[in-house]
Amino acid sequence: MSFEKSIDLNYQRARKALVEEISSKGISDLRVLDAFLKTPRHLFIDGAFSSRAYQDMSLPIGYHQTISQPFVVARMIELILKGSIFEKAPLGTILEIGTGCGYQTAILSKFCRKVFSIERISPLAERAKSNLKSAGVKNFLIRCADGSLGWPTFKKFDAIICSAVSSNIPESLIKQLEVSGKLICPVGNDKNQNLVLVEKKK
C-alpha cells in the first residue's frame, strides 16, 4: 500500500470514528451522519492540527476564529431538517452566516442546490473558497460582508444557519426566510448560549 493510500485510509477510519461519536451523542438522522462521513474535515484546518481533525472539538483557524465542533454543526442541520417540508426533499437554498474555513459550508452543500455564505473576514473567505475547491464542492457562493444584514440581492432562503453566537437574531435575517423556512442561531454570550430555532409561519 502506498503512503498516500495509507493516509487516506487513516482519515476514512477517523471520519467513521467521528460519526460514531456524534451518533452516540444523539445525532440520529442518517443523512446528516452520511454527510459527515463523506466530508474531509482535515482539508479545512491548519496542518498543525491535522492530528485532531476528526476529534469532536472546535479548533483555531486564525483571526481569533474557530472551526465549529462537529456535533454542534450536526445538531443544527438536524434541527433544520426535522419535521420540516425538507425532511424528504433537498432544500433549494441555504444562507450561512459565518463561513469560517468552509467546513460547515461543505456539509450544507449536500442538503441543497446552493449554499450562499457570508464571511466578514476577507482572508478567511478566500481560504474557504480554496478549501471548498480542494474538497470538490461546487454549489456555493461566498461573499465578504456583514452577515447580520443578510444577502440583500437574494430574496428568500429555505434555511438560514448562523455559525457565530449572537446576542439576538437580526430581523433582517428573519425577513429573508421563505414561509415554512427555518433559521437556527446560537444566542447568548461567550460563556452561556443556547441554540434558538425560528420557523417562519407567514
Q: Is 94 exposed, middle or buried (0-12, 13-18, 19+ CB in 10 A)?
A: buried
Residue whose grid cell is 478567511: 124
**Strands 140-144 and 157-162: what pairing?**
unpaired
CA-CA-CA-CA dihedral for 136, 139, 143, 145, to nearest 10: -110
SS3 sequence, 22-76? HHHCCCCCHHHHHHHHCCCHHHHCCHHHHHHCCCCCCEEEECCEEECCHHHHHHH
68 is catalytic: yes
Q: Choose the catalytic residue: 68, 109, 163, 166.
A: 68
Q: Is the C-alpha dihedral spanning 96, 120, 175, 162 positive or negative?
A: positive
Contacts of 10 (CB under 8 A, 6+ apart): none
Return the active site residues: 68
